Amino acid sequence: MSNISDDDYNYIKNNWERLSEVEMFLTGFISNEERRYAESIATSYVSQQSGMSIEEAEKIFKGLRPERSMWGGKYAKQYKEVCLNYVASRLEKYRSEIYKVVCADFDYCNKRKLKKFLSEEYQLGIAIAEALLVATTQLPFPIATTTIYLVKHKILDKWCNCNKSGE
């Protein structure tokens, strides 16, 4: 019997290969101030790269679907990158707790190589979500999206020192 909800189980299973969508969902949890900062960084980046003034770039990206142009795509990528830096910094605050639960108690480095997880990788995400749900305090983001993010960005590999231990 699983400790996570059916919704979380299905979210992990159905979104395991949709990292970009998971990332964009996570960016919805940052503050409006952080979003405005990300927008200004992305606008400034496109302005510098394109030779447009910041005012011209702002006019293009305000209220439009910027991903429909080359510069819009660059804007969207830069915006998402800055937002994900906020996500990563928030998760960093839980690093020691996640380390204890996932790296030490769950033995992530060894379990990620088990046949059942290699054949259906999303099952690893479900097992990690269960471990986090049972043993941690409230994380700043939903458990299912956090789990996918931590595994797919290889953050757990880094935090658990999987490569350093030859695993």
Quick: pLDDT tens for 109-162: 999 988 888 888 899 999 999 998 887 668 889 999 999 999 999 999 999 999
In angstroms, the Cα distances linking 70 to 50, 66, 157 are: 10, 9, 34
Return mean pLDDT, the chain.
87
Per-domain residue ranges for the chain?
A: 1-17+94-167, 31-92
In angstroms, the Cα distances linking 98 to 7, 17, 19, 103 are: 22, 23, 21, 7
Q: Is 19 helix (H, G, I), strand (E, B) or coil?
A: helix
Q: What is the DSSP string of 93-117?
A: TTHHHHIIIIIIIS-HHHHTTSHHH
Alpha helices in the chain (DSSP H): 6-15, 19-27, 32-50, 54-61, 70-92, 95-98, 108-111, 115-119, 122-135, 143-152, 155-159
- Residue 115: exposure state from Cβ atoms within 10 A (0-12, 13-18, ≥19): exposed
What tens digit of pLDDT does each residue of 49-74 get?
888 888 888 777 765 555 567 777 88
pLDDT for the residue numbered 88: 93
Tokens found for residue 122: 């999303």
Angle 10-140-44 (CA atoms, 0-180°, nearest 5)? Answer: 105
Separation of alpha carbons 145 and 125, rounded Å:
10
